[in-house]
Amino acid sequence: MLIFDKSVEGRRAVTLPECDVKEYSFDKKYLRETPAVLPEVAEVDLVRHYIGLSRKCVGVDNVFYPLGSCTMKYNPKLNEVIARNPAFTNLHPLQPESTVQGALEVMYETQKILAEITGMDEISLEPAAGAHGEYTSLQIIRKYHLSRGDGKRNKIIVPDSAHGTNPASAAMCGFEIINVKSDKRGNVDIKALKESVGDDTAALMLTNPNTLGLLDEHILKITSVVHKAGGLVYYDGANLNAVMGVIRPGDLGFDVVHLNLHKTFSTPHGGGGPGSGAIGCKKKLVQFMPDPAVVRVRNRYRFAERENSIGKVKAFYGNFLVVLRAYAYLLTLGKEGIREASENAVLNANYLRVLLEPYFKTAYSRTCMHEFVLSLEKFHDETGVSAMDVAKALIDKGIHPPTMYFPLIVHEALMFEPTETESRETLEACRDVMREIYEEAKSNPDAVKACPASTPISRPDEVLAARKPKVRKQ
């Protein structure tokens, strides 16, 4: 039911004082011909309507939400309070620098801390999401090679476990994509990598830990193989939640990184933004980074142009309030807290992995980082119940589904990322629910295949629902 359906003519949620100024008569050409159709409801009905809608929403604030590769972590409410402060929200991006010193300081200090965490020399907070950070970085990589008169590096190497945005960003930048396969332990296959690199390699894009939740066991070898061929190495930092404060991409040989501040550093996401895909570069790439830089000159903060910048990639200075939340998060946790968050994320993932092992097998049997991937291929063969069916059954039992059918190299994949804030009790409750589904799949598979029953609609056609949504009243 829409709020319009609850409308009763003349009913009001507010009482305004009598108007004590003369009514102004606008020229007719500025007036609408018929009054706007607006819902007329009392405050109590208004509140019930929207609270009712919010209860249908499934999010990290009401259920366990182990969506892997997305880091749907619980974000402290303190950071929301800070990001709502009118001192920040009322700023105008065209205000003179002298009047926004506080905001510039937030950006400058966030850059400094993120540079330390990633082991990079400079950070730009401009890109609006991870994919945007990839695109921006690839433009930088291209400009770097061209500036050295190295015009034939037109290939980007991407492992088969990569997130889809990696090859998509490379294609958007006009690069050719070369896929390298993973080995039996879920690492980049070194032999395949060696065969792929050459004097046409612009860069390798790598997520580490990768989208299987596994830390590559040959990372130093990988970055050195690419460097020896004259290519650069790009770090997709979407999985930084596993390693922040523990290892630094810059120390592993990466030249450029993107971070998803909305994943790792405390901005609620999942509804499509706003986000921040901050990027970091090693010294040799800094001159090509987006304009403007935020710099400090004798205790004053200001914007500065870079010598050989690729230009601007976003209006003004990125999504500032996402950066502000990240800054608040970084300061609240501090150096030790950041590391501890990662350690707990890894501990929680391994605990849940081991709890589920008697029922569901992991695709790669080794210690995981912050997430792990189950393969239900055999289970599906035996019971007819697919990874999709299990995901749908979880909804009825009050758990948001994990990531399904990703990464593509694992068949019948379910990828769990519990994150650092979940308690032991929540993880054990998840095990109990997964065991119930497992048992039901063995005894009554049709019941599992009929889930979910608790949602307004049960199983829409996933593709049609996304491509041609029918937005209509229920």
Ligand X SMILES: *Cc1c(COP(=O)(O)O)cnc(C)c1O
Tokens 């608790």 correspond to 454
Q: Which is nearer to ligand X, 236 or 422 (CB)?
A: 236
CB-CB contact of 308 with 382 (8 Å): no
On the CB side of 222, how many CA atoms lie within 13 Å of its CA?
29
For the bound state, the minimum distance from the C-beta of residue 233 to ligand X, rounded and expressed in Å, comes to 15
For the bound state, the minimum distance from the C-beta of residue 73 to ligand X, rounded and expressed in Å, comes to 13
Q: Which residue is nearest to ligand X (CB)?
A: 130
For the bound state, the minimum distance from the C-beta of residue 40 to ligand X, rounded and expressed in Å, comes to 40
Strands (E) across 314-392 are located at 372-375
Supply the angle between the helices 165-172 and 130-147 in degrees, to the nearest 10. 50
For the bound state, the minimum distance from the C-beta of residue 269 to ligand X, rounded and expressed in Å, comes to 8
Q: Which is nearer to ligand X, 275 or 401 (CB)?
A: 275
**b/e 30-52 (16+ beta carbons within 10 angstroms → b):** eeeeeeeeebbbeeebbeebeee
Number of neighbours of residue 311 by Cβ within 10 angstroms: 10
3-state SS, residue 56 = helix
Q: How is residue 142 written in tokens?
A: 């291209």
CA distances from 367 to 135, 186, 260, 306 (A): 32, 12, 24, 44
For the bound state, the minimum distance from the C-beta of residue 220 to ligand X, rounded and expressed in Å, comes to 21
Contacts with ligand X by CB under 6 A lie at: 69-70, 129-131, 163, 165, 207, 211, 236, 238, 260, 275, 277
Q: How far out from the chain centre does Cα 48 lie?
A: 32
The rounded distance, in Å, linking the Cα atoms of 87 and 408 is 45
Q: Which is nearer to ligand X, 260 or 386 (CB)?
A: 260
Q: Which is nearer to ligand X, 230 or 268 (CB)?
A: 268
For the bound state, the minimum distance from the C-beta of residue 363 to ligand X, rounded and expressed in Å, comes to 16
Q: Which is nearer to ligand X, 315 or 471 (CB)?
A: 315
Q: Which is nearer to ligand X, 131 or 356 (CB)?
A: 131
The rounded distance, in Å, linking the Cα atoms of 182 and 237 is 19
Q: Which is nearer to ligand X, 164 or 311 (CB)?
A: 164
For the bound state, the minimum distance from the C-beta of residue 262 to ligand X, rounded and expressed in Å, comes to 6
Burial-class residue 221 by CB neighbours within 10 Å (0-12, 13-18, 19+).
middle
For the bound state, the minimum distance from the C-beta of residue 79 to ligand X, rounded and expressed in Å, comes to 18
Nearest residue to 398 via CA among 77, 58, 157: 58
Q: Which is nearer to ligand X, 68 or 250 (CB)?
A: 68
For the bound state, the minimum distance from the C-beta of residue 282 to ligand X, rounded and expressed in Å, comes to 20
Strands (E) across 253-371 are located at 256-258, 279-281, 293-297, 300-304
Q: Which is nearer to ligand X, 162 or 448 (CB)?
A: 162
